[in-house]
Structure 1
Amino acid sequence: MKRFNIIKTVSVAAFTTTLLFASCTGNFDELNTHPTDVYPEDMTPTERVGTLFVAMTRLLNACQENNSQHTEQMVGQYGGYFATTAPWNGTNFGTFNPSADWVDVPYKDMFTEFYPNFQTIKESTGGTGYIYAWASILRVGVMLRVADIYGPIPYSEMGKGEFQVAYDDVKTLYHNMFDDLTRSINVLSAFVQENEGKEVPVAEYDIIYNGDFSKWIKYANSLKLRMAVRIASNTEDTEYAKQMMAEAIDGGVIESNDDNAFFPSMPYNPFWIASDWGDLAINATLSAYMNGYNDPRISKYMNTSTSYREYRGVRMGIKDTSKSVEGSAARYSKPAVTDASPMPVFYAAETYFLKAEAALQGWIAGGTAAAKSYYEQGIQISMNQYGVEIGDYLSSTVVPQGYTDRWNSQNNISFTDVPTVAWENGSNKLQKIITQKWIANYPLGIEAWCDYRRTGYPELFTARDNLSSVGYIGDIDSKRMVRRLPYPTTEKSSNSANVEAAIATMLGGPDTGATDLWWAKKN
């Protein structure tokens, strides 16, 4: 595949749109200029459009090391997979007291990197055709991540030429995203049918499926299913969510590991880089579960400590954390990735767990029997993904007990309510489904955080030190953890009226880290 580093991903035709968007983000220079060695005017039309997709796709799981560190690692540690291990002057997400400028980063990174390219594609295509449909699927995938971190965001009004952009409440936002996915699926379905066996001009710029749009349809339907399950517990939208689930499943979702969505790291896997820096370790919660269950995937997820050859993560939220202690590979487990490990976006295993929950709750047909079948299929396909033997895992009645830190007893903590793997053992089937889904979805921390906020599962170890009382995001309950990030200070200054309206009429609480999103668990 050709590799282009674009000097300016924003074309002349999109300049006005980018300028308008810059007022919403307060970050025009960063929007308009990118590291480069090739200019758009030096490219063919296909190259000019194609290269934009590479940059947009990488925002489905931040690949650049600094972006990944801020979003997938610092914020993503709320999903229970990682613990950050650098002190950063004592202001950390793990201790619930990040600085205001760090809280801004995921919003600015995803918006500023995505929308200029998207608007260029929209203008180049006239907002029609398979190229625009593909871009619209990416838009939903990326903006869903922003919304699931912050809550209401600008969406339906983006790109209409306004200097200050109004927000959509979360329910409206999700409905608009469902509509975009449905339209895109219909367009791509027609394209695939009409162009079977033909070469796709932009295939070399598709870093996930190499131009196979039948698989992009499966990804779009899988995203639709994920979103529908997320909102279905909210009784005012349950029937609509059930309709979306049915459409997604009937349309074809990712059910085989051959269809898993990954893209190559470029130039290095950011989790590997952060681990090498001494900034990242496996979360104690993950190591405790996998040790407790004797999970065959453990060596695929994490390395043993080099001194003691044991799988042992780091407790999240240690106020005096240091690279020489918690960041040490000699003492604690690091992610089992190499510099070339690909970046995951969506696994087939998640589809089965989504179906399991939907069947259990009566949102799709089948009831408890179907839920059990989907649950066990989800575990099995995850084992297959990593090439490990499942053994007697499905019948295990072992209950993980907790975590012991051989270096510091202050970090020791026990579980209070953890399920067994065996379906028949224990009554809380939803807890089983979400716990095993959580293990299978590693390392997708933002998605895991969504499930925790939505269901209360899996049980996660609390931060050792809760410093939220002196932090920017407000007082945080240690058990419930951070529920969202406050809006960026740059957005409050450049788009103040719309931010204030979103907080007053859409958010459902103050602009703090303790306010639940519309779809989240309220107790």
Structure 2
Amino acid sequence: MKNLFEFRKIAVFLLGLILVTGCDDQLSEINTNPYGIDPANANPNLLMPTVLTSSAQSYLGLGFNDLAGAMQYTQKNGWYSSHNNYEWVSRNWTGWYDILRTNDLMITRGEDMDNAFFQGIGLTMKSFVFGNIADLWGDAPYSDALMGDEGSDQFQFPKFDSQEAIYDGIIADLQEAATLLASASTEGVTAGNDLIYGADIDSWRRFTNSLLLRYYMRLSEKKPDVAKAGIEAIYSSGIYIQDASQDATLDYTGGSNDIWITRHVRLNPDDFQRYQACQTFIDQLTMTDDPRLPVFFDSVRVQWVADETLDVAAESFIRADGEPIESIYTFDEFEEEYADVKFTRHFNPNLADYNSDLYVGLPPSILTPESYNGNPIPGQGTQNLHVSQLDPIYSTAGSAGDILKARIISAAEVSFIFAEGALKGWSVGDAETHYNMGIEQSLQVWEKADMYEEFIAQPDVMFNSTLEQIITQKWVANWSNGTEAFADYRRTGYPDLSAGPLSPQPEVALRFQYGNDEYNNNPDNISAALNNLEVTDYSGNFGQDSQWSKPWLYQGTSVPF
């Protein structure tokens, strides 16, 4: 038995040796995917849609979610800690760098093919993505990024470039992109794969220069001479987005895999119902009688009515056109039976304090938003009969026509940039003209252009030559684009926002914390980035890597605090 056992061991060893020897010669062949595409032969037409859709949808995802909460466009009544209360701990940027890797291959293939179009839009999208990283975190891997396949530890564990260096690189890349696009052709380009502009080179040139305007203005406090010269040059060229029809946007078709962000959770109404108006934004819209209000939000489903004759704090039933009908707990069951009916509920203002307006928002960062304003059926993600949620167009795929888009940059933003520049005394035209144009372009986007003359005549809307008014109206125009509004707020301190009671600090947060991936895998290089952050009075127990620490762009300034 022992000899037989030894023989089997020897046989297994010899068989393994034969297999290893035989496989060694063919190892690379066996491990090659016959259906894979060699990156050296990748078609940039097939890379382009991934870059454009991922960039636009990621940007909308930020601007409609956590940064919409920070900028007090919306609050959530369920699963709201990051949206309402700035719990931005350990935020990884993996998705953004995934986009950059694909984009980098598109640029490389554009160079290989001597195709200025793919190089130009690649540099534009590279700038857009790195701009978001620098805006939201601060220092980040930049010059050594996207080179992990080089094999060196230098690239496997990339250093963090300063936020200043990244912004300088963004401006240089956008300038190069503008030069490339000026001489580009669409030969070899599949127009249908350009999901933003359909391979229209003039549109890309306007987009590229408009992003330059954004980042020049971003640097206007730290490098005013650079910003002034850059913005004046682009204004003089006339090559920038000038009409809402030229906005850089990604359409949502309404297909099963291409639906607006609030419908991404299939068959789950909670995903839509969580989004509630923020009272800060409602106050701005109602104060100016803004015609965009009913496009952004629905009125409350049941409006409170003050009634001092009640001997209880509030009625336990709902009224339809003033007549009692049903218990509040069965509202959903009979709502459709009463078409064109106004639903109300009475309360005694001496015994209870409820907001009786037609449009009601959640105050920012409150303790129990799901119960606010007397909601009779509180719960995470449930509807609140007495608080405004998003307008119904945001809940049904494809129902909003041309309104719902992932908007990267708009004519309205460009006009407000010029208005701010003019207010600084730069040679970019008249501040009031640009301010009024920004409002008109935004109303056009939200299909309220016919209300422009009436709206612009409102006392609180008529131009008063202040930066606060320009940025406040820019904030309104940036609805669904909270990321850019967030950048303006940190740069100017406008609009005037106050953090709510559940915020860890009394000020609105400034940045995302670095993700655990960097701490775990690139600890030596993240240390320098942390040292470049300025600890503020509000950094709290997080220390340097706090949501309330200041990156380079806001250091040495008194805004927003």
Output the TM-score relative to the length of structure 2: 0.71
Provide closer, same or farther for how the CA distance between residues 155 and 248 of structure 1 changes in structure 2, counting only shifts above 3 A: farther
CA distance in 2, matches of 1:313, 1:39: 53
Shift of residue 146 of structure 1? 1.6
Provide closer, same or farther for how the CA distance between residues 385 and 74 of structure 1 changes in structure 2, counting only shifts above 3 A: closer
Corresponding letter in the other structure for 1:143: F
CA distance in 2, matches of 1:335, 1:44: 46
CA distance in 2, matches of 1:272, 1:383: 25
Out of 232, 235, 240, the residue aligned to residue 226 of structure 2 is: 240
Out of 277, 280, 289, the residue aligned to residue 284 of structure 2 is: 289
CA distance in 1, matches of 2:66, 2:424: 33
Out of 167, 170, 183, the residue aligned to residue 163 of structure 2 is: 170
Out of 220, 235, 257, the residue aligned to residue 249 of structure 1 is: 235
Shift of residue 43 of structure 1? 12
Q: Deviations over 1:172-225 (max 9, x none)?
A: 11111001001111111101xxx4xx6662311111111112111111111110
CA distance in 2, matches of 1:39, 1:185: 37
Q: Secondary structure at the match of 1:262?
A: strand
Out of 208, 222, 228, the residue aligned to residue 220 of structure 1 is: 208
Shift of residue 375 of structure 1? 0.8
Out of 441, 455, 461, the residue aligned to residue 421 of structure 1 is: 461
| 1:141 to 2:128 alignment | yes
Where do 5+ consecutive residues of structure 1 fail to align? Answer: 1-37, 398-419, 469-475
Shift of residue 255 of structure 1? 0.9
- Alignment check: 8 A CA contact 1:222 1:351 kept: yes
Q: Deviations over 1:444-490 (max 9, x none)?
A: 01111111111110122432322x2xxxxxxx3x2x31011111111
Partner of 2:457: 395
Partner of 1:375: 435
| 1:54 to 2:49 alignment | yes
Corresponding letter in the other structure for 1:493: N
CA distance in 2, matches of 1:110, 1:279: 26
Shift of residue 430 of structure 1? 0.3
**Equivalent residue pairs, number:** 429
Shift of residue 39 of structure 1? 6.2
Q: Output aligned runs, 1:150-229, within 5 Å.
A: 150-160=137-147, 161=150, 162-191=155-184, 195=185, 201-229=189-217
Q: Deviations over 1:399-418 (max 9, x none)?
A: xxxxxxxxxxxxxxxxxxxx
CA distance in 2, matches of 1:211, 1:167: 34
Partner of 1:33: none
Shift of residue 152 of structure 1? 1.2
Provide closer, same or farther for how the CA distance between residues 464 and 179 of structure 1 changes in structure 2, counting only shifts above 3 A: same
- Alignment check: 8 A CA contact 1:315 1:461 kept: no
| 1:518 to 2:552 alignment | yes
CA distance in 2, matches of 1:209, 1:39: 31
| 1:97 to 2:87 alignment | yes
| 1:120 to 2:105 alignment | yes
CA distance in 1, matches of 2:100, 2:441: 35
CA distance in 2, matches of 1:175, 1:373: 30
Shift of residue 244 of structure 1? 1.9
- Alignment check: 8 A CA contact 1:287 1:312 kept: yes
Partner of 1:493: 520
Corresponding letter in the other structure for 2:260: N
Deviating beyond 6 angstroms after TM superposition, the runs of 4 or more aligned structure 1 residues are 42-46
Q: Deviations over 1:14-66 (max 9, x none)?
A: xxxxxxxxxxxxxxxxxxxxxxxx965499967x4223222222343335xxx
The range that moved more, 166-175 or 330-339, is: 330-339
CA distance in 2, matches of 1:329, 1:347: 33
Q: Secondary structure at the match of 2:57?
A: coil
Provide closer, same or farther for how the CA distance between residues 292 and 204 of structure 1 changes in structure 2, counting only shifts above 3 A: same
Partner of 2:397: 339
| 1:448 to 2:448 alignment | no
Corresponding letter in the other structure for 2:139: P
Shift of residue 135 of structure 1? 1.2
Corresponding letter in the other structure for 2:85: T
Q: Secondary structure at the match of 1:175?
A: helix
Q: Output aligned runs, 1:289-328, within 5 Å.
A: 289-308=284-303, 310-322=358-370, 324=379, 327-328=382-383
Q: CA RMSD for the aligned pairs?
A: 2.7
Corresponding letter in the other structure for 1:201: V
The alignment-based identity, stated in percent, is 21
CA distance in 2, matches of 1:168, 1:45: 31
Where do 5+ consecutive residues of structure 2 fail to align? Answer: 1-33, 304-341, 343-357, 371-377, 399-403, 536-543
Provide closer, same or farther for how the CA distance between residues 43 and 508 of structure 1 changes in structure 2, counting only shifts above 3 A: closer
CA distance in 1, matches of 2:246, 2:63: 25
The range that moved more, 158-167 or 218-227, is: 158-167
- Alignment check: 8 A CA contact 1:153 1:168 kept: yes
CA distance in 1, matches of 2:176, 2:417: 23
Q: Deviations over 1:249-283 (max 9, x none)?
A: 23411111110111123421013447752332222
Partner of 1:87: 79
Corresponding letter in the other structure for 1:183: E
Q: Deviations over 1:56-79 (max 9, x none)?
A: 22343335xxx9656640244212
Provide closer, same or farther for how the CA distance between residues 43 and 169 of structure 1 changes in structure 2, counting only shifts above 3 A: closer
The range that moved more, 259-268 or 170-179, is: 259-268
Shift of residue 517 of structure 1? 2.8
Q: Secondary structure at the match of 2:219?
A: helix
Partner of 2:415: 352
- Alignment check: 8 A CA contact 1:121 1:132 kept: yes
Partner of 1:459: 496
- Alignment check: 8 A CA contact 1:356 1:374 kept: yes
Output the TM-score relative to the length of structure 1: 0.75
Shift of residue 294 of structure 1? 0.4
- Alignment check: 8 A CA contact 2:440 2:452 kept: yes
CA distance in 2, matches of 1:327, 1:364: 52
Q: Secondary structure at the match of 2:189?
A: coil
CA distance in 2, matches of 1:517, 1:42: 40
- Alignment check: 8 A CA contact 1:79 1:447 kept: no
Corresponding letter in the other structure for 2:416: F
